[in-house]
Amino acid sequence: MFSLAQTASQVRRDILRMVHAVSSGHPGGSLGCADFFVYMYFERLVYDAKGFSMDGIGEDVFYLSNGHISPVWYSVLARRGFFEISELATFRKISSRLQGHPSVDKKLPGIRVASGSLGQGLSVAIGTALTKKMNRDSHWVYCLMGDGEIQEGQVWEAAMYSGNRGLDNLIAVIDFNNRQIDGDVSQIMGVMPLDEKWKAFGWEVYTMDGHDFSSMRSVMNQIDQNRGNRKPKMIIMKTEMGQGVDFMMGTHKWHGSAPNSEQLELALSQLAETHGDF
Protein backbone atom coordinates (compact mmCIF):
# COMPACT_ATOMS: atom_id res chain seq x y z
CA MET A 1 0.00 0.00 0.00
CA PHE A 2 1.11 3.51 -0.74
CA SER A 3 0.74 6.59 1.40
CA LEU A 4 -1.25 9.52 0.00
CA ALA A 5 2.03 11.39 -0.40
CA GLN A 6 3.57 8.55 -2.39
CA THR A 7 0.52 8.41 -4.64
CA ALA A 8 0.63 12.18 -5.12
CA SER A 9 4.23 11.87 -6.25
CA GLN A 10 3.18 9.40 -8.94
CA VAL A 11 0.28 11.62 -9.98
CA ARG A 12 2.69 14.53 -10.41
CA ARG A 13 4.90 12.36 -12.60
CA ASP A 14 1.84 11.43 -14.68
CA ILE A 15 0.90 15.09 -15.10
CA LEU A 16 4.37 16.10 -16.29
CA ARG A 17 4.72 13.17 -18.65
CA MET A 18 1.25 13.73 -20.13
CA VAL A 19 1.76 17.40 -20.92
CA HIS A 20 5.34 16.84 -22.10
CA ALA A 21 4.22 14.17 -24.57
CA VAL A 22 1.98 16.63 -26.44
CA SER A 23 3.89 19.82 -25.64
CA SER A 24 0.67 21.36 -24.37
CA GLY A 25 -1.66 21.41 -21.39
CA HIS A 26 -1.66 22.99 -17.97
CA PRO A 27 0.88 21.53 -15.53
CA GLY A 28 1.01 24.37 -12.96
CA GLY A 29 -2.48 24.15 -11.48
CA SER A 30 -2.51 20.38 -11.96
CA LEU A 31 0.60 19.98 -9.81
CA GLY A 32 -0.83 22.40 -7.27
CA CYS A 33 -4.01 20.36 -6.89
CA ALA A 34 -2.40 16.90 -6.95
CA ASP A 35 -2.52 16.43 -3.16
CA PHE A 36 -6.17 17.52 -3.05
CA PHE A 37 -7.24 15.14 -5.82
CA VAL A 38 -5.36 12.26 -4.21
CA TYR A 39 -6.98 12.98 -0.85
CA MET A 40 -10.42 13.21 -2.45
CA TYR A 41 -10.26 10.09 -4.61
CA PHE A 42 -8.14 7.90 -2.30
CA GLU A 43 -9.81 8.79 0.97
CA ARG A 44 -12.79 11.10 0.92
CA LEU A 45 -15.19 10.55 -1.98
CA VAL A 46 -17.82 7.82 -2.18
CA TYR A 47 -17.99 6.43 -5.73
CA ASP A 48 -18.07 3.34 -7.90
CA ALA A 49 -15.11 3.49 -10.31
CA LYS A 50 -15.93 0.28 -12.18
CA GLY A 51 -19.64 0.89 -12.41
CA PHE A 52 -19.55 4.57 -13.30
CA SER A 53 -22.99 6.02 -13.94
CA MET A 54 -23.83 9.49 -15.18
CA ASP A 55 -26.59 9.81 -12.58
CA GLY A 56 -24.27 9.15 -9.62
CA ILE A 57 -27.15 8.15 -7.37
CA GLY A 58 -25.95 6.97 -3.97
CA GLU A 59 -22.50 8.46 -4.61
CA ASP A 60 -20.72 11.74 -4.12
CA VAL A 61 -20.55 13.82 -7.31
CA PHE A 62 -17.41 15.79 -8.07
CA TYR A 63 -17.22 18.57 -10.66
CA LEU A 64 -14.06 20.22 -11.91
CA SER A 65 -15.01 23.72 -13.04
CA ASN A 66 -11.49 24.85 -13.95
CA GLY A 67 -11.28 22.13 -16.57
CA HIS A 68 -7.81 23.08 -17.78
CA ILE A 69 -6.26 21.15 -14.89
CA SER A 70 -7.60 17.97 -16.49
CA PRO A 71 -4.21 16.14 -16.27
CA VAL A 72 -4.44 15.79 -12.49
CA TRP A 73 -8.04 14.55 -12.71
CA TYR A 74 -7.27 12.05 -15.47
CA SER A 75 -4.27 10.70 -13.58
CA VAL A 76 -6.22 10.18 -10.36
CA LEU A 77 -9.22 8.66 -12.17
CA ALA A 78 -6.92 6.21 -13.96
CA ARG A 79 -4.99 5.38 -10.80
CA ARG A 80 -8.33 4.65 -9.10
CA GLY A 81 -9.49 2.32 -11.85
CA PHE A 82 -12.06 4.40 -13.74
CA PHE A 83 -10.14 3.48 -16.90
CA GLU A 84 -6.82 1.90 -17.85
CA ILE A 85 -3.68 3.69 -16.72
CA SER A 86 -2.20 3.19 -20.19
CA GLU A 87 -4.91 5.48 -21.60
CA LEU A 88 -3.12 8.44 -19.98
CA ALA A 89 -0.70 8.22 -22.92
CA THR A 90 -3.49 9.36 -25.26
CA PHE A 91 -4.02 12.72 -23.50
CA ARG A 92 -4.80 15.51 -26.01
CA LYS A 93 -4.16 13.19 -28.96
CA ILE A 94 -6.55 12.67 -31.85
CA SER A 95 -9.59 10.50 -31.03
CA SER A 96 -8.64 10.27 -27.35
CA ARG A 97 -11.23 10.19 -24.59
CA LEU A 98 -8.82 12.39 -22.62
CA GLN A 99 -9.65 15.70 -24.24
CA GLY A 100 -7.62 18.81 -23.49
CA HIS A 101 -10.51 19.93 -21.34
CA PRO A 102 -12.86 17.35 -19.81
CA SER A 103 -15.78 16.27 -21.96
CA VAL A 104 -18.57 13.71 -21.74
CA ASP A 105 -19.20 13.01 -25.41
CA LYS A 106 -16.41 10.44 -25.60
CA LYS A 107 -17.76 8.66 -22.52
CA LEU A 108 -14.71 8.82 -20.28
CA PRO A 109 -15.83 7.34 -16.94
CA GLY A 110 -15.69 9.79 -14.05
CA ILE A 111 -16.75 12.93 -15.92
CA ARG A 112 -20.29 14.25 -15.85
CA VAL A 113 -20.11 17.63 -17.57
CA ALA A 114 -17.74 19.41 -19.92
CA SER A 115 -15.68 22.22 -18.43
CA GLY A 116 -13.05 24.58 -19.67
CA SER A 117 -15.00 27.70 -20.47
CA LEU A 118 -14.72 29.05 -16.94
CA GLY A 119 -17.33 29.90 -14.35
CA GLN A 120 -19.92 27.26 -15.19
CA GLY A 121 -19.19 24.40 -12.80
CA LEU A 122 -20.70 25.82 -9.63
CA SER A 123 -24.09 26.27 -11.29
CA VAL A 124 -23.98 22.68 -12.52
CA ALA A 125 -23.06 21.50 -9.03
CA ILE A 126 -26.05 23.40 -7.63
CA GLY A 127 -28.31 21.56 -10.05
CA THR A 128 -27.02 18.17 -8.95
CA ALA A 129 -27.25 19.18 -5.29
CA LEU A 130 -30.92 20.05 -5.85
CA THR A 131 -31.55 16.77 -7.62
CA LYS A 132 -29.87 14.87 -4.77
CA LYS A 133 -32.26 16.51 -2.34
CA MET A 134 -35.26 15.59 -4.52
CA ASN A 135 -33.95 12.02 -4.76
CA ARG A 136 -33.39 11.93 -0.97
CA ASP A 137 -29.78 11.04 -1.71
CA SER A 138 -27.64 12.20 1.20
CA HIS A 139 -24.28 12.27 -0.61
CA TRP A 140 -22.25 15.39 -1.19
CA VAL A 141 -21.78 17.40 -4.37
CA TYR A 142 -18.35 19.01 -4.81
CA CYS A 143 -17.10 21.66 -7.17
CA LEU A 144 -13.49 22.77 -7.55
CA MET A 145 -12.83 26.21 -9.05
CA GLY A 146 -9.76 28.29 -9.66
CA ASP A 147 -9.23 31.57 -7.83
CA GLY A 148 -8.84 33.45 -11.10
CA GLU A 149 -11.98 31.72 -12.32
CA ILE A 150 -14.18 33.48 -9.80
CA GLN A 151 -13.66 36.67 -11.79
CA GLU A 152 -16.44 35.22 -13.98
CA GLY A 153 -19.85 36.74 -13.18
CA GLN A 154 -21.76 33.47 -13.33
CA VAL A 155 -19.91 32.29 -10.22
CA TRP A 156 -21.59 35.05 -8.23
CA GLU A 157 -25.02 34.24 -9.61
CA ALA A 158 -24.39 30.72 -8.34
CA ALA A 159 -23.02 31.99 -5.02
CA MET A 160 -26.18 34.06 -4.49
CA TYR A 161 -28.48 31.19 -5.36
CA SER A 162 -26.78 28.68 -3.06
CA GLY A 163 -26.78 31.04 -0.10
CA ASN A 164 -30.40 32.07 -0.57
CA ARG A 165 -31.56 28.47 -0.90
CA GLY A 166 -29.43 27.12 1.98
CA LEU A 167 -27.90 24.42 -0.20
CA ASP A 168 -26.15 22.51 2.56
CA ASN A 169 -25.19 19.43 0.53
CA LEU A 170 -22.86 21.47 -1.69
CA ILE A 171 -19.12 21.83 -1.01
CA ALA A 172 -17.23 24.29 -3.22
CA VAL A 173 -13.46 24.51 -3.16
CA ILE A 174 -11.39 27.41 -4.48
CA ASP A 175 -7.83 26.59 -5.51
CA PHE A 176 -6.28 29.67 -3.96
CA ASN A 177 -2.82 29.93 -5.51
CA ASN A 178 -3.01 33.60 -6.53
CA ARG A 179 -1.91 32.76 -10.08
CA GLN A 180 -3.65 33.08 -13.42
CA ILE A 181 -2.40 33.10 -17.02
CA ASP A 182 -1.35 36.74 -17.17
CA GLY A 183 0.17 36.92 -13.68
CA ASP A 184 -0.85 37.18 -10.05
CA VAL A 185 -4.59 37.20 -9.41
CA SER A 186 -4.12 40.12 -7.00
CA GLN A 187 -2.58 42.14 -9.84
CA ILE A 188 -4.85 41.08 -12.70
CA MET A 189 -8.20 41.46 -10.91
CA GLY A 190 -8.13 41.04 -7.17
CA VAL A 191 -10.65 38.69 -5.60
CA MET A 192 -9.96 39.40 -1.92
CA PRO A 193 -11.31 39.25 0.69
CA LEU A 194 -12.44 35.78 -0.30
CA ASP A 195 -13.84 34.68 3.05
CA GLU A 196 -15.90 37.83 3.60
CA LYS A 197 -17.29 37.74 0.07
CA TRP A 198 -18.59 34.19 0.42
CA LYS A 199 -19.85 34.75 3.96
CA ALA A 200 -21.78 37.76 2.71
CA PHE A 201 -23.44 35.51 0.14
CA GLY A 202 -24.59 33.17 2.92
CA TRP A 203 -21.87 30.51 2.78
CA GLU A 204 -20.02 28.80 5.59
CA VAL A 205 -16.32 29.37 4.87
CA TYR A 206 -13.39 27.11 5.77
CA THR A 207 -9.72 27.41 4.97
CA MET A 208 -7.37 24.51 4.44
CA ASP A 209 -3.85 23.75 3.32
CA GLY A 210 -4.05 21.98 -0.02
CA HIS A 211 -0.71 20.27 0.56
CA ASP A 212 -1.42 18.94 4.05
CA PHE A 213 -3.55 15.81 4.23
CA SER A 214 -4.28 16.26 7.91
CA SER A 215 -5.56 19.78 7.25
CA MET A 216 -7.86 18.45 4.51
CA ARG A 217 -9.08 15.64 6.74
CA SER A 218 -9.77 17.98 9.62
CA VAL A 219 -11.76 20.47 7.49
CA MET A 220 -13.83 17.74 5.87
CA ASN A 221 -14.60 16.28 9.29
CA GLN A 222 -15.80 19.68 10.48
CA ILE A 223 -17.97 19.98 7.39
CA ASP A 224 -19.48 16.56 8.00
CA GLN A 225 -20.50 17.73 11.45
CA ASN A 226 -22.15 20.84 10.01
CA ARG A 227 -24.34 18.97 7.55
CA GLY A 228 -27.92 20.00 7.40
CA ASN A 229 -27.42 23.50 8.78
CA ARG A 230 -28.89 25.20 5.69
CA LYS A 231 -25.55 26.66 4.58
CA PRO A 232 -23.47 25.82 1.49
CA LYS A 233 -19.81 25.13 2.32
CA MET A 234 -16.88 26.99 0.79
CA ILE A 235 -13.31 25.80 1.29
CA ILE A 236 -10.57 28.25 0.48
CA MET A 237 -7.71 25.88 -0.27
CA LYS A 238 -4.25 27.41 -0.16
CA THR A 239 -1.96 25.83 -2.75
CA GLU A 240 1.22 26.59 -4.61
CA MET A 241 1.05 26.43 -8.39
CA GLY A 242 3.65 23.96 -9.62
CA GLN A 243 3.97 22.30 -6.20
CA GLY A 244 6.52 19.47 -6.12
CA VAL A 245 8.83 20.81 -8.82
CA ASP A 246 11.11 23.55 -7.55
CA PHE A 247 11.51 25.51 -10.77
CA MET A 248 7.77 25.47 -11.45
CA MET A 249 6.87 27.04 -8.10
CA GLY A 250 6.66 30.74 -7.26
CA THR A 251 5.61 31.80 -10.76
CA HIS A 252 2.59 31.80 -13.07
CA LYS A 253 4.84 30.76 -15.96
CA TRP A 254 3.83 27.09 -15.85
CA HIS A 255 0.11 27.72 -15.83
CA GLY A 256 -0.25 26.64 -19.43
CA SER A 257 3.14 25.59 -20.76
CA ALA A 258 4.59 22.11 -20.94
CA PRO A 259 8.19 21.33 -20.04
CA ASN A 260 10.68 20.37 -22.75
CA SER A 261 12.56 17.06 -22.46
CA GLU A 262 15.39 18.49 -20.41
CA GLN A 263 13.00 20.25 -18.04
CA LEU A 264 10.94 17.08 -17.77
CA GLU A 265 13.95 15.05 -16.66
CA LEU A 266 14.85 17.66 -14.08
CA ALA A 267 11.28 17.73 -12.78
CA LEU A 268 10.94 13.95 -12.64
CA SER A 269 14.19 13.70 -10.69
CA GLN A 270 12.39 15.52 -7.88
CA LEU A 271 9.43 13.10 -7.79
CA ALA A 272 9.66 9.47 -6.79
CA GLU A 273 8.16 6.90 -9.13
CA THR A 274 5.97 4.97 -6.70
CA HIS A 275 3.15 3.16 -8.51
CA GLY A 276 5.04 2.90 -11.79
CA ASP A 277 4.83 5.29 -14.76
CA PHE A 278 2.14 4.75 -17.44
* Residues near other proteins (CB under 8 A): 54-57, 61, 63, 103-105, 112-117, 119-132, 134-135, 137, 153-154, 157-158, 160-161, 164
Q: How far is the CB of 228 from other proteins (least distance, A)?
A: 18
Residue closer to other proteins (CB basis): 32 or 67: 67
Residue closer to other proteins (CB basis): 7 or 120: 120
Smallest CA-to-CA distance from 210 within 34, 16, 70 is with: 34
d(CA 30, CA 71): 6
Residue closer to other proteins (CB basis): 11 or 113: 113
Residue closer to other proteins (CB basis): 58 or 256: 58
Q: How far is the CB of 121 from other proteins (least distance, A)?
A: 8
* Cα–Cα separations (whole angstroms), residue 181 to 26, 154, 208, 257: 10, 20, 24, 10
User: Side by side, which strands form the sheet with 61-64?
Assistant: 61-64, 141-146, 170-176, 233-238, 204-209
Q: How far is the CB of 148 from other proteins (least distance, A)?
A: 17
DSSP 20-77: HHHT-S-HHHHHHTHHHHHHIIIII----STT--SS-TTS-EEEESSGGGHHHHHHHH
Q: How far is the CB of 229 from other proteins (least distance, A)?
A: 21
Residue closer to other proteins (CB basis): 125 or 264: 125
d(CA 183, CA 241): 12
Residue closer to other proteins (CB basis): 116 or 183: 116
Is residue 234 within 8 A of residue 204, CB to CB? The reply is yes
Is residue 209 within 8 A of residue 240, CB to CB? The reply is no
Is residue 83 within 8 A of residue 91, CB to CB? The reply is no
